[in-house]
């Protein structure tokens, strides 16, 4: 039996869960990617789903968001909880002649009347979201002409426009230079700290994750383990997942993950 449902109001309120996966098998059609996944995201989490390429990280995220249904088991959302999604920016079809503002406005659509155009207040709110992420001057630029970092910020502004309880991001700093990667991660940290938005991100970049996320889920052929970054990120655990020696080095207030000896 597969099921996407809502948590009972009391249950979610008591434990602060926004979404819970129980004994869920995940995949596409007949293709099972992960089996028996148990995972919950609580209000105020900053969860990073980490693992090698092809481990099934994105599949977990998409199932959590309701984009795909679990093949078996249960995925339940708290009543009234609102999710926003920031997909991999490379998946955006660049043939569409949309401005950054038009892309960001899409985040507002689910809150608007199904009929008609965005109101002035919708427009003002979306512009304030663009300002929040520092791209208000790009509103009239074509989305396809923006740099990778600018596109990512536009997609984050779109996610904020939906006034979400939880933002889910798929590889938000993939293929970025160091400066853009730092800017995006600092922006996410700021949103987490100042707006108390729950964040779930998928990444294969361990150096990014260990310095920002609070909780980590290690995935490889199944959900291996989940817990606080400070407890779970160890050379032993990373060896179990990646199959090669991994060293964790403290560098001032930051941590660096080094592969190999």
Partner 1 sequence: MSEVFTVPFLRVAFAGGLIVGSLCAFLGVHVVLRRIVFVGAALAQVSSAGVGLALCTGANPATVSLALTLGGVAAFAVRFGNRRITQESIIGVAYALASAIAVLFVAKSAHAEAYMLNLLSGNILTITPGQVYLTVFLFAVTVLMWSLFQKQFMFSAFDPETAKAHGIRVAFWDLLFYVILGIVISFSIRVVGMLLVFAFLVLPAVTALLLSQRFVGIYAFAIVSAAVSTVSGLLLSYKLDLPTGPTIVVFSGILLLASSIVSKLRG
Q: Which is nearer to partner 1, 140 or 250 (CB)?
A: 140
| Look-up of token digits 């700021």 | 190
Q: Which helix (H) or strand (E) holds 173?
A: none
Q: What is the nearest approach in angstroms of partner 1 to the Cβ of residue 210?
A: 27
Backbone angles phi, psi at 25, to 5 degrees: -95, 130
β pairing state of 198-203 and 46-50:
parallel
Q: Which is nearer to partner 1, 49 or 206 (CB)?
A: 49
**Diameter of the chain by CA atoms?**
60
User: Of 9, 28, 128, 131, which lies in the binding site for partner 1, with binding defined by CB under 8 A?
Assistant: 28
Q: What is the nearest approach in angstroms of partner 1 to the Cβ of residue 45?
A: 18
Residues binding partner 1: number (CB under 8 A): 34
Piece in contact with partner 1 (CB under 8 A), picked from 81-89, 203-211, 230-238, 242-250: 81-89
Alpha carbon distance 254, 168 (integer Å): 24
Q: Which is nearer to partner 1, 84 or 237 (CB)?
A: 84
User: Of 1, 115, 178, 179, which lies in the binding site for partner 1, with binding defined by CB under 8 A?
Assistant: 115
CA 174 to chain CA mean position, Å: 13
According to DSSP, residue 142 is labeled: B
Contact in structure between 200 and 61 (CB atoms under 8 Å): yes
Where does this chain bind partner 1 (CB under 8 A)? 28-29, 31, 62, 65-67, 83-87, 91-93, 95-98, 103, 106-107, 109-110, 112, 114-118, 142, 158, 162, 168
């Amino acid at each position: 039996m597969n099921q996407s449902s809502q948590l009972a109001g009391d249950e979610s309120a008591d434990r602060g869960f926004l979404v819970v996966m129980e004994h869920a098998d995940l995949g596409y059609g007949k293709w099972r990617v992960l089996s028996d996944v148990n995972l919950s995201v609580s209000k105020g989490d900053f969860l990073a789903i980490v693992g090698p390429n092809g481990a099934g990280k994105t599949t977990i995220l998409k199932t959590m968001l309701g984009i795909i249904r679990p093949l078996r088991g249960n995925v339940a959302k708290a009543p009234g909880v609102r999710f926003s999604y920031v997909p991999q920016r490379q998946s955006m079809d660049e043939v569409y002649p949309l401005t950054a503002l038009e892309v960001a406005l899409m985040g507002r659509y689910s809150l608007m009347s199904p009929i008609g155009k965005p109101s002035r207040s919708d427009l003002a709110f979306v512009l304030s979201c663009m300002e929040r992420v520092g791209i208000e001057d790009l509103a009239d630029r074509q989305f396809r002409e923006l740099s990778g970092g600018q596109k990512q910020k536009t997609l984050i502004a779109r996610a904020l426009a939906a006034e979400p309880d939880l933002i889910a991001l798929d590889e938000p700093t993939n293929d970025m230079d160091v400066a853009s990667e730092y800017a995006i991660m600092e922006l996410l940290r700021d949103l987490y700290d100042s707006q108390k938005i729950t964040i779930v991100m998928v990444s294969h970049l361990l150096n990014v994750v260990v310095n920002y996320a609070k909780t980590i889920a290690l995935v490889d052929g199944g959900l291996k383990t989940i817990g606080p970054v400070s407890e779970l990120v160890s050379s032993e655990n990373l060896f179990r997942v990646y199959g090669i020696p991994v060293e964790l080095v403290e560098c001032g207030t930051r941590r660096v993950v080094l592969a190999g000896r």
